[in-house]
Amino acid sequence: MIRSLSSSERQLGIALSVALALLGLVMLGAAKVGPMAVHGAMAIAVGVALLFALGGGLAEPEPRGDRLARYYDEPTRFGIVMTMIWAVFAMAVGVWVAALLYWPEATPLWPWTSFGRLRPVHTSGIIFGFGGNALIATSFHVVQRTSRARLADSVTPWVVLIGFNLFCLWAVSGYLMGSTQSKEYAEAEWYADLWLVVVWVVYFVLYMRTLARRNEPHIYVANWYYLAFILVVAMLHIVNNLALPVSLAGAKSFTIWAGVQDAMVQWWYGHNAVAFFLTAGFLAMLYYFLPVRSGRPIWSYRLSILSFWGIVFFYVWVGSHHLHYTALPYWVQTLGMTFSVMLLVPSWAAAGNAIATLNGAWHKVRDDATLRFMFVAAVFYGLSTFEGSFLAIRPVNSLSHYTDWTVGHVHSGTLGWVAMIIFGAIYTLAPQLSGRETMAWPRAIEWHFWLAVTGTLVYVVALWNAGITQGLMWRTYDASGALSYSFLQSVMAMAPYYLLRTIGGALFLAGAVICALNTWATMRSARAGAEAHDRPLLPGPALPEPAE
Amino acid sequence: MLRLHYNLEKISMGLVAAIIVAASIGGIVEIAPLFTVDETVTIPDDMRPHTPLELAGREIFMREGCYACHSQMIRTLADEIDRYGPYSLPSESAYDHPMLWGSKRTGPDLARVGGKYSDPWHVAHLIDPRAVVPASIMPAYPWLMEPLDTGNLGAELATLARLGVPYTEEMATNAAADALAQGNPDSDGAADVATRYGEKVAIRAFDGDPARLTEMDALVAYLQSLGTLTDVAFETEEVKVPEEAP
Ligand code: HEM
């Protein structure tokens, strides 16, 4: 990082590190005890560590004079490393909480190891830590290549990445200490939320400034998706997290939303976190890395437009399908259901477009495990969106809601689609950024692929069975008109499925560990001249465009 | 159309504006009407907010992530009404910041668990679920016997009051004392709790020991209050009252 910065940029970095440490000091001083104080101490630690690193690096030689005529890939490399660290950590937590449902006595008697505290560590760690870092890292790569322009400056990418990871760290360590807003995927407390807003604005501005420097007249479709991801996530995050802190010197706050209104806002957020965090951003990855890897252009430009606007417009309506038969007004439930079904059209347009792109490159899919990851991702994307539209239909939802079917559906999307496309992107990027033709251990990709596919199938099939069994047991009446099963009987019926799910998850985790080691080995054996195969950058500021 | 889009792709701010517009419509249509929730959801006359002790229990419920396994939202389905009681009404969570409707039932719904079991049952169950229900997969919470920290309750009530929950200034000033008194029926303050929050509020040594106020007191007080803040759900005519569980 430091070698790639000029000395004035290093000084700016030092100033920012001091500011971060001071912010931490204020938090620590104000709160004195509790989660906010611990988080203040973490900010101080990060600030001081950066200060030492940058201060020590002041004497290092200036970077190569022609650096502005090259792409800036250091942040992407760092982002990939963080992606893999969060992947292994958060998936391990996932396997552990899965095991606890089969074997509850295994919980050590420390509060922070309890299921209820670890579950959000898994969800936030995996969505934000693993998914978020992958999105930011690839977006930096993609926006530069498709714009033929270097990132607008060299300091803000680091602000985004380090700031974002600090947010993730605050979030998960807060849950362990019992600090939570209890809103799913938005559990982090108010100051962490404010911090994320700052980081996100910096990210957006950097993205726009880089686009403004582009040397291509058109903004490539992957960038539309990244933009939708950045913009809509900001909108959702701010509205859902509006809260009144009990005191500025403590972590506790109360959301301004109450009751039904809170439920609607929460699931408008919750489902669009799926849509714009876990889908739009990853479609961006798909639309860039799939054509690059297969060497074929996106099959249909029209279909890309249709699916993009369809997804952006329809998704926002569907959150209320999480609230069927509840105290939410009926018409809002109906709207949510209707739009959920219509959403299938743009979703399948996107998935179909990706699969059709592979037409003529099927031999590559057969031979290249990396491309196969992307293909499987597109297939699971199609399957999960179909299942999602189906589950949103009111009578189906009456059976599936509250059961493990939902969790199975979530993981068919996250394991089969989100994680697979990330792995595909990493296996494409890591060698490229290291100046290599291939990963350090090409055969290991094949192993990873089969572990991932097997793990996903075992996980998802086990939970389909679990969920449908549960749903049916809860609603079955006997001949005398009484409920046939006690709740406890339905709990006992879950045991084999929970065991299977743990095994499936462990296989998936094993694959992710292989990926992490492989990436590490690849990056360590980086060769000089990494830019050799890259798309040439057109140096200099963007030419003025008559169209604008 | 294509031509239009072709040009839009050249203008980054144009794309940004179009995305914001397209993504806002759905949210506005669905959420904005709920801002009139004050008019559409009538708060029942007998509805009370949580007492300070119950509120502290609610925060422990959130802290421990009980909501990850327990919903508090009975849907309008026959089997749910038979299993858990009358379906949940919007007014019942009108004071809840945040709502705890939940999304997963690894354990049963708790919306009407208040009064279903005795206090000692809850205490024993929370300390070691498998001692009470051998096949349970619920985690054990032995650390709940720690003393309850009531220092922040006054400020919390005041904050909730600012958000529209009907806590008076008097309630906020006396929050810590009321929490202590609710867990000790023989204390002087016990009568004040009843005056401030209503005669139906349970004033007991929830964890069995009136001498100390523990997190267990708070959590059990909260669990016992669930579904009892108003009787409106039982009064609505078309609601079926559940038969006694066998
Ligand atoms: C190693 C593989 C994984 C395992 C073993 C695993 C396990 C789990 C478990 C046990 C739960 C809690 C379910 C419950 O409460 O009954 C869960 C929830 C969740 N996981 Fe995973 N997980 C894995 C990978 C992932 C990945 C890669 C993602 C996202 C990229 C993800 C996203 C989620 C989400 C969003 C939820 C919440 C589901 C809901 O509320 O319905 N998981 N996971």
Q: Provide the 3-class DSSP secondary structure of residue A502.
A: helix
pLDDT of amino acid A51: 93
Q: Mind listing the pLDDT tens digit for each residue in A302-345? A: 888 888 999 888 888 888 888 888 878 888 888 889 888 899 99
The preferred substitution site among A411, A501, A513, A514 for testing ligand 1, maximizing ligand atoms within 8 Å of CB, is A411
Cβ–Cβ contacts within 10 Å for residue B207, how many? 26
Work out the pLDDT band at B236, boundaries 50, 70, 90: low
User: Do A78 and A45 touch, CB atoms closer than 8 A?
Assistant: no
Nearest to A332 among B7, B30, B93 (CB): B30
Asked if A314 and B26 come within 8 Å (Cβ–Cβ), the reply is yes
Residue A260 is nearest to which of B27, B37, B133, comparing CB atoms?
B37
Measured from the CA of A95, which atom of ligand 1 is nearest?
Answer: 5
Residue with tokens 């009987």: A489
List all residues 6 or more positions away from B56 whose beta carbon is below 8 Å from its beta carbon: B148, B150, B153, B179, B215, B218, B222
What is the predicted pLDDT for the residue at A531? 56
- Is the pLDDT reported for residue A548 higher than 50? no
The per-residue pLDDT of chain A, averaged, comes to 90
Distance separating alpha carbons of residues A65 and A103, to the nearest angstrom: 60
Instruction: Report the separation in Å between the CA atom of B201 and the middle of ligand 1, taken as the mean of its atom positions.
Output: 39
Phi-psi region of A244 (alpha: psi -120 to 50; beta: other; left: phi over 0): beta
Whether residues B66 and A314 touch (CB distance < 8 A) is answered with: no
Which of A40, A47, A14 is CA-nearest to residue A25? A40
- Is the pLDDT at A237 greater than 50? The verdict is yes
**Interface-testing mutation among A110, A216, A257, A501, with chain B (most B C-beta atoms within 10 A):** A257
Of B41, B76, B163, the CB nearest to A256: B163
Q: How far apart, in whole angstroms, are the C-alpha atoms of residue A348 and residue A382?
A: 6
DSSP annotation of B52: H
Q: State residue B239's pLDDT score.
A: 46
Q: Is A217 on the interface with B (CB under 8 A)?
A: yes
Average confidence (pLDDT) over A284-307: 90
Whose CA is closest to A438, among B209, A446, A233, B242? A446
Q: What angle do CA A408, A306, A395 make, to 5 degrees?
A: 35
Asked if A260 and B103 come within 8 Å (Cβ–Cβ), the reply is no
| Cβ–Cβ < 8 Å for A226, B62 | no
The string of pLDDT tens digits covering residues A141-156 is 999 999 999 999 999 9
Summarize pLDDT for A44-62 with one digit per residue, the tens.
999 999 999 998 888 888 8
- A101 and B137 in contact by Cβ < 8 A? yes
Look at A327 and B73 and tell me if their CB atoms are within 8 Å: yes
- CB contacts of A244 in chain B (<8 Å) are 159, 162-163
- Write out the E strands in A214-353: 243-245, 253-255
Interface test with B, best of A112, A177, A225, A262 (most B CBs within 10 A): A262
Please, which pLDDT band fits residue A215 given cuts at 50, 70 and 90? Answer: confident
* Residues of chain A contacting residue B11, judged by C-beta atoms under 8 Å apart: 547-548
Lowest-pLDDT range of A58-62, A234-238, A284-288, B37-41? B37-41
Contact A411, A502 (CB under 8 A): no
The whole-angstrom separation of Cα A84 and Cα A78 is: 10
Residue B49: asked if its preceding bond is cis (omega within 30°), the reply is no
Question: What ipTM was predicted for this assembly?
Answer: 0.91
Cβ distance of A109 and B142 shorter than 8 Å:
yes
> Helix axis angle, A344-357 relative to A330-342, nearest 10°?
20
Query: What is the C-alpha separation between A225 and A232, in angstroms, rounded?
Result: 10
Q: Which residue of A has its CA nearest to B144?
A: A111
Residue-level pLDDT at A64: 75
Nearest one of A133, A159, A136, A4 to A71, comparing CA atoms? A4
**Across residues B30-58, what is the average pLDDT?**
82
User: Atom 22, ligand 1: which residue's CA is nearest?
Assistant: A94
Q: Which two tokens stand for residue B222?
A: 């909260």
pLDDT range class, residue A216, cuts 50, 70, 90? confident
Chain centroid, CA B139 distance in Å = 20
Does A324 touch chain B if contact means CB atoms closer than 8 Å?
yes
| Residue B197 CA from chain centroid, whole number | 16
Q: Is this structure's pTM higher than 0.90?
A: yes
| CATH number, domain A74-524, options 3.55.40.20, 1.20.210.10, 3.30.465.10, 3.40.50.10860 | 1.20.210.10
Yes or no, beta carbons of B63 and A403 under 8 Å apart: no
Alpha carbon distance A397, A379 (integer Å) = 23
Name the residue ranges covered by the structural domains of chain A: 1-59, 74-524
**Gap from CA of A505 to ligand 1 centroid (Å):** 9
Q: Are A259 and B164 in contact (CB under 8 A)?
A: no
pLDDT on residue A514: 97
Query: A412 Cβ partners below 8 Å, 6+ apart?
Result: A380, A383, A384, A387, A456, A460
**What separation in Å is there between the alpha carbon of B168 and the centre of ligand 1?**
42
Give the whole-angstrom CA distance, residue A262 versus residue B72. 14
Tell me how close the Cα of A254 comes to any Cα of chain B, in angstroms.
6
Q: Averaged over A204-230, what is the pLDDT?
A: 91
Q: Return the bridge partners of A402, or none.
A: B104
In the beta sheet, which residues pair with residue A245?
A253
Residue B172 pLDDT exceeds 90: yes
Question: Given pLDDT bands bounded at 50, 70 and 90, which one contains residue B243?
Answer: very low
Lowest mean pLDDT among A97-106, A481-490, B20-29, B156-165: B20-29
